[in-house]
Structure 1
Amino acid sequence: MLKVVLKTWPLLTGVLLLMVGNGVQGSLLGIRGTLEAFNTLQLSVVMSAYFLGFLIGSRVAPDMIRRVGHVRVFAALGSLISAVLVLYPMLVEWQIWALMRVVIGFGFAGIYITAESWLNNTATNETRGQALSAYMIVQMLGIVASQGLLAAGDPFGYDMFLIPSVLVSLAFLPLLLADSPTPTFSTTVRLGFRDLFRISPLGCVGMLISGGVFSAMFGMASVWGTLSLLSVKQIALFTSFLYVGGLLLQYPVGWLSDRIDRRQIMLWLSVVATVVLIVATVLDLPFWALLIVAGLLGGITYPMYSLLIAYTNDFLSKEQMAAASAGLIFMNGVGAIFGPLITGWLMGVVGTNGFFLYLAVLYAAQVVYTLWRMTRRASPSVTGAYRGVTPTASTVAAVAVLENAPDIGPSPETPEAAEEASRGLEIRSAEVAEAVEQDAAPGAERPEDGETESGPRKEG
């Protein structure tokens, strides 16, 4: 873990500062909007507008990375977010706030894609789970710190909008000034939803479910707490336990996922979440038990996001990772849009327990789908990524060897090398498509141990 952090510290530092700014503005707008006499419907439009921008950003960001690279995209979007943050107290109209939230969502979607594809590019399959866990831990630390900053300020003043803007502006200084290595590939490969789904159906469906869980859990927790007659302090404590649980389990889950089949970890985490949420739905739990539920729920939800990204990227070339991250984030955003809406409706039908019931249904769906996907392929034995692959005639195995072979050809700086790399990528893509079609044909043979949905997995 330490090696991963040292290798990516400029990026992680920038993400930390960005998340402090994002955490402050996310909570501040709800409070300030209430003080400005915005009604509930208006505030819900303002908050949901973020996810509209998020979806747009998830489609546009890969092209931006393709044209100008990771560092410039990170800095440009950070500057855009910083500028919008200082405009909120100057333009106090809910319609304008909604438009600005679209811009904020667009910016953060692009930053997430840039950061995650950057991490995936610098990590190996052996360290990818740890790298993404470190990334999520930094995000949570930033959000937790932002709540402390919010509590110390006046939501009706200008300072609480200015401070996040300054923090966001400072976020890209480590990236621009550090001499740490940045991603070396200069292009990304377009990857449609159909192609991404064929590569990893579990990754796509899992991210859709994860978005619904996350947005409902963090967007509706305060509503559930208020309707359950909890005090403000109790609601804050419940929310903080969601983050604490995520902080405590991020690294252990990431470390374990680099050593055994990630699908097994997803399955057991989903089973535990389903059982805990059913108990919380059926029983009238005391507050201390609700805190345990919150800790377990946060400790499962955050690592699940990292697991799904790492699992999907196990089957991708480095050139495909930015586009894949965009697709996964788009799926996550779609789920996030509907999460609060469905949760609110369900709570109106069955009462406050509808909050836990909705989350239980989603995690139960994750259990069923993960089990089904595991029956589609043999479960590999895992100790290391792309090591000890059993030689077979599989074209997918051959592609894995090619993608992970050391570069002994001409320098990628030369036009000849670029042309050669392009031809090689086209050949590998054609081989993968042919292999998938053959595997999908009736009577197709199951892959041997060490192969998974799109290629050989980790074997030992």
Structure 2
Amino acid sequence: MIRSLTPLAALLISDALVLLGHGLLLTLIPVSASQLGFSDFQIGLTGTGYFVGFVTGCLATPYVLKRVGHIRTFAVLASAYTAFILFFAWSQSFAGWMFLRFMIGAIIAGIYMIIESWLNERADKNNRGAILSFYAMMNLMMITIAQQLLNLGGVNPTLLFALAGIFLSLSIVPVSLTLALAPAPIHKVSIDFTKVWKHSHIGIIGSIFSGLITGSFWTLAPIYAKDSGLTTFQLANFMSAVVLGGALFQIPLGRFSDKFDRRLILIFIALAGAIISLLTFIASFENYYAGAVSTWLAFIWGAFSMTMYAICLAHANDNADSADFVDIGSAMLITYGLSSAISAPIASALMGMLGHQYLFVFMGTSFAIFCVILIARRKSHVLPVMAEHNGEFHSVAGLTTPEAYNLDPRAEELNEAVPASELEREWADVDADYHDNIDKKT
């Protein structure tokens, strides 16, 4: 495995630095918005801007990469991200923050797409699974560590925005200095919602409810923790515990879903998520909540909420050909992103009317509705999906783009279906167009 990762060292170091900066901002931005006096609903709308930007970035990045290549696109996006971070520290208007959150959503989608397409280009059938697993583990680990960086500044926005900017700026260095060849241009994102619905109704429905739950969490959980009286240290532990719970339980729950009907595992996850959400809601009214209780409940809640989407994705692909895997994953991801975009305003409106504790009522209700749908769907399909019909579960790297699905070994036939000569011809055409443009200018 080390031999497979060594040629990718520069790229993975840049990825780690990006995630440290971006992971810190996932919590810092909502907390800073609250300190500026934004209402919960306004903070929810800025979350909508972020997720709409993320979907836009997934769709637009392939066209940029085709023009200037991976290394220059990465450098431009990381540099632009750093500039927008500084604007956050200066701007105090809601409209400005809406625009900035949209832009960083689009930018981080582009950065992820560059990293994932580069990893896919360097992977082969012998190491694809190992690279995907390491990438998923590193992403979750860096986001967990990033939450602890809040303790360095005591949620001092100026200091922490500067720290995030430093990490994003440094991420440009390893990629820019690498001697490795950049990959060929990637293809545009293919979205076919009909295909996903045909193979698995639960795939689309699950991505909708996963987006409702995790989208509202990432946008509003820092506000919930702050209003619950958690100190900066406790808030950082709360956010880290959720990500860590998802990281540690994704593989065990995924392996269980390989051996049994995945719908049964999803029913268990949705039911457990609803129960833990209810317990968290009740406990948040008590004086003993801040501290160990909030951290442990967050860890258990993350174990179910952060694993649901990956198992829904695996279920959607069980009855599909490997050639359809990337299309299905892309459609589910876009559905997940759009669902995340509408979740935050709904949850924030509920918090504004009834209290911050009702964030977990919204997420628990989403779990419960999904559980009821799963039970109804399973009764209408009396023949259970047997273990021998299930594909092998593979972890999902948290926030990701459609390019990550090319890394999955289940997409191996699709990767092999595109001959190297065809890729070389396409790259040659792009290179020729580039030199033609240079000749015209000179």
TM-score normalised by L of structure 1: 0.68
Asked whether the 8 Å contact 1:208–1:332 carries over to 2, the reply is yes
Asked whether the 8 Å contact 2:17–2:170 carries over to 1, the reply is yes
Asked whether the 8 Å contact 1:132–1:310 carries over to 2, the reply is no
Following superposition, the deviation at residue 402 of structure 1 comes to 11
- Map 1:350-429 onto structure 2 (within 5 A): 354-371=358-375, 375=381, 379-382=385-388, 385=391, 403=413, 411-412=421-422
Asked whether the 8 Å contact 2:71–2:176 carries over to 1, the reply is yes
Asked whether the 8 Å contact 2:55–2:334 carries over to 1, the reply is yes
Structure (1 or 2) with the greater helix fraction: 2
**Deviations 1:345-374 (CA, angstroms, capped at 9, x unpaired):** 434566555333222221223334444555
The answer on 1:84 being equivalent to 2:84 is yes
**Deviations 1:285-326 (CA, angstroms, capped at 9, x unpaired):** 7535543321111112222233344555664656872x6554
Asked whether the 8 Å contact 2:148–2:240 carries over to 1, the reply is no
Following superposition, the deviation at residue 20 of structure 1 comes to 1.3
Give the distance between the partners of 2:95 and 2:233, measured in 1 at CA.
Answer: 31
Which range is displaced more, 372-381 or 177-186?
177-186
Following superposition, the deviation at residue 82 of structure 1 comes to 2.6
Following superposition, the deviation at residue 105 of structure 1 comes to 0.9
Following superposition, the deviation at residue 213 of structure 1 comes to 0.8
Asked whether the 8 Å contact 2:351–2:358 carries over to 1, the reply is yes
- Map 1:49-448 onto structure 2 (within 5 A): 49-64=49-64, 74-115=74-115, 122=123, 134-153=134-153, 159-175=159-175, 186-188=186-188, 190-230=190-230, 233-254=233-254, 262-281=262-281, 287=289, 288-312=292-316, 315=320, 317=322, 321=326, 324-347=328-351, 354-371=358-375, 375=381, 379-382=385-388, 385=391, 403=413, 411-412=421-422
SS in 1 for 2:307: helix
Give the distance between the partners of 1:330 and 1:408, measured in 2 at CA.
Answer: 24
Give the distance between the partners of 2:114 and 2:224, measured in 1 at CA.
Answer: 34
Following superposition, the deviation at residue 53 of structure 1 comes to 1.6
Give the distance between the partners of 1:70 and 1:271, measured in 2 at CA.
Answer: 43
Amino acid at match of 1:18: V
Q: Number of matched residues?
A: 402
Asked whether the 8 Å contact 1:78–1:169 carries over to 2, the reply is yes
Give the distance between the partners of 2:8 and 2:376, measured in 1 at CA.
Answer: 36
Calculate percent identity across the aligned residue pairs. Answer: 25
Following superposition, the deviation at residue 403 of structure 1 comes to 3.9
Asked whether the 8 Å contact 2:322–2:412 carries over to 1, the reply is no
Asked whether the 8 Å contact 1:215–1:340 carries over to 2, the reply is yes
Amino acid at match of 2:100: M
SS in 1 for 2:387: coil
Amino acid at match of 1:379: V
Give the distance between the partners of 1:258 and 1:16, measured in 2 at CA.
Answer: 30
Q: Greater relative contact order: 1 or 2 (C-alpha under 8 angstroms, separation 6 or more)?
A: 2
Following superposition, the deviation at residue 157 of structure 1 comes to 7.2
Asked whether the 8 Å contact 1:58–1:326 carries over to 2, the reply is no
Give the distance between the partners of 2:34 and 2:278, measured in 1 at CA.
Answer: 34
Give the distance between the partners of 2:333 and 2:411, measured in 1 at CA.
Answer: 28
Asked whether the 8 Å contact 1:277–1:356 carries over to 2, the reply is yes
Give the distance between the partners of 1:316 and 1:119, measured in 2 at CA.
Answer: 23
Which range is displaced more, 37-46 or 72-81?
37-46
Q: Flag the 1:20–1:410 CA change in 2: closer, same or farther, 3 A.
A: closer
* Structure 1 unmatched ranges of 5 or more: 387-399, 419-460
1:392 maps to which residue? none
SS in 2 for 1:379: coil
**Deviations 1:324-345 (CA, angstroms, capped at 9, x unpaired):** 5543332222222232333234
Following superposition, the deviation at residue 125 of structure 1 comes to 12
Give the distance between the partners of 1:405 and 1:116, measured in 2 at CA.
Answer: 14
Give the distance between the partners of 1:131 and 1:358, measured in 2 at CA.
Answer: 36
**Deviations 1:274-293 (CA, angstroms, capped at 9, x unpaired):** 33334445677753554332
Asked whether the 8 Å contact 1:46–1:97 carries over to 2, the reply is yes
Following superposition, the deviation at residue 158 of structure 1 comes to 5.1
**Deviations 1:123-170 (CA, angstroms, capped at 9, x unpaired):** 869975x76554443333223333333332376675533432332233
Give the distance between the partners of 1:372 and 1:212, measured in 2 at CA.
Answer: 20
Asked whether the 8 Å contact 1:58–1:329 carries over to 2, the reply is no
Give the distance between the partners of 2:238 and 2:207, measured in 1 at CA.
Answer: 24
Amino acid at match of 1:86: L
Asked whether the 8 Å contact 1:59–1:330 carries over to 2, the reply is no
Asked whether the 8 Å contact 1:65–1:188 carries over to 2, the reply is no
